Structure 1
Amino acid sequence: MLEYDEKRNYIRMSVDCELTYKLADASESHSGICTSISGSGVSFIADQSFDPGSAMEVNITPKNTITPPMTAYIEVVRTTKQDNGRYEIAAAIKSIKGH
């Protein structure tokens, strides 16, 4: 029998969809790729690095029309430079904006 002991409060789902991101106090948005999402966090690929603790806003646009777009306010937890020069941003979801 296979056993899986999930240590997270929410299961993380791998996704591959577009998102836009910006610092909370910025007006200019940038495009990235959302790689995973859970009830409490999100990770995405960006062209720039962000310091842990940075407050940001993301708009996630799923590829299917069944799932509605989501706007969330996040706090950066970790930034990891990728081999291709881009950055993986891991962040905690602080709140979700109603549409």
Structure 2
Amino acid sequence: MLEYDEKRNYIRMVVDCDIIYKIADSDTLYQGRCKSISGAGVSFIADQFLTPGKAMEINVIPKNAITPPLTAFIEVVRCTKQDNGNYEIAATIQSIKGN
């Protein structure tokens, strides 16, 4: 039997849902696709390059009504260009926005 030691503090959940994001100090909203989320971070696909260190606000919109949406403040850690011209953004969650 294979053993696997999880090195993360939080388990990463693979998701496939819409995400709305905006850069701090801007009112312009952009849409992307959330790929994974954990208690400490999020990754999503965007059509623009986002500079590491950039502060943003995100709203993760689940596919079903059972799961509530998540609004959080994040900081971009990595931005990797994909073969299709989009970018995969990895970010740390700085705080969760309450109601």
- Which TM-score applies when normalising by structure 2? 0.97
**Deviant stretches of 4+, over 3 Å:** none
For residue 85 of structure 1, what is the aligned residue in structure 2?
A: 85
1:86 positional shift: 0.4
Point out where structure 1 has 5 or more consecutive residues left out of the alignment. none
Q: Distance in 1 between matches of 2:70 and 2:57?
A: 10
- Which TM-score applies when normalising by structure 1? 0.97
Point out where structure 2 has 5 or more consecutive residues left out of the alignment. none
The alignment yields a C-alpha RMSD, in angstroms, of: 0.6
Aligned residues: 99
Q: Distance in 2 between matches of 1:19 and 1:75?
A: 15
* Residue deviations 1:12-70 (CA, integer Å, cap 9, x gap): 01000001011011101000000000000000000101111000000000101111001
Identity over aligned residues, as a percent?
Answer: 71
Which aligned pairs between 1:1-99 and structure 2 lie closer than 5 A?
1-99=1-99
